[in-house]
Amino acid sequence: MNRGNGQYFERMQAKEINLKDIFDVIKRRLWIIIVITIAAILGAYFYSDNMDNTPLYQSSTRVIVGSEGESMSTLMVMIKDPIVMEQVIKELELSTSADALANQIEVEQLDESQIIKISATTIDSELAAAIANTTARAYKAQIASILDFQDVQLLSAAIENPYPINEKNQNRLLLIAAAFGLATGIGLTFLLDSLDGKVRKERELEEILGVPVLGMVSNMNKKKLAVKKSKRKKKVEIRGEAVDI
């Protein structure tokens, strides 16, 4: 029973020492953690302040294509073909090129099914929905004309999405930067401590030398020496005169 209690207290003492060592390391180089954290926050702030904040809106429509395998891939590629894009530009009277419009459109097959999702992204929410819907209609018409493929059905029309997909969230970015700076600062603090060969505690000296420490000599400087000398001075009277000794 006594042996078990002794081991328990030894473990608790070792745990307390380890926690104290950790706090001592952080306290000794706290300025490093603070500087790195502040630098990370400032960097994130200036980055978010100078980045392009133009809101982008996206709307999607879905079509069902009655095809599978390699032919499905071919039919999907044709959605962004210049012939389809030119028809969309003409109908909506857009002042852009076919290639530029194609870059604003994303085509995705949903879960390897026959459903294709057509998404359009622009700085105008209403225009994004119009481009997606017009692209789906133009695609259906052109593929029937070119490939004589009639098995394309519009599943759901795109509706205007009033919320930008790149909404600025500066507070979240600053929190991430603060957490990154804090973790980096703490990591650097412990790295520098591991490279530091100075002995700061009696326990460290005992572990290095393998002998117990009997006493410590305090650090003395000129100010402390001056105070000690002033305390040792005494005034005595010799023949009626005060003399410092």
Strand 241-244 versus strand 115-122 pairing type:
unpaired
pLDDT band at 133 (very low <50, low <70, confident <90, very high): very high
Q: What is the pLDDT of residues 18-77, one digit of tens each?
A: 777 788 888 888 999 999 999 999 998 888 777 767 889 999 999 999 876 668 888 899
The residue-averaged pLDDT of 119-142 equals: 95
The residue ranges of every structural domain in the chain are 2-49+172-226, 57-156
Quote the mean pLDDT of the chain: 80
Strand 105-109 versus strand 115-122 pairing type:
antiparallel
pLDDT band at 111 (very low <50, low <70, confident <90, very high): confident
Q: Cα–Cα distance between 152 and 143 in angstroms, integer? A: 9
- Note the Cα 46 to chain centre separation in Å: 15
Asked whether 115 and 63 are in contact (CB, 8 A), the reply is: yes
Fold of 57-156: Alpha-Beta Plaits (3.30.70)
Whole-number pLDDT of residue 25: 83
Q: What is the 3-state secondary structure (H, E, C) of 158-185?
A: CCCCCCCCCCCCHHHHHHHHHHHHHHHH
- The reported pTM is 0.56
pLDDT band at 112 (very low <50, low <70, confident <90, very high): confident
pLDDT band at 238 (very low <50, low <70, confident <90, very high): very low
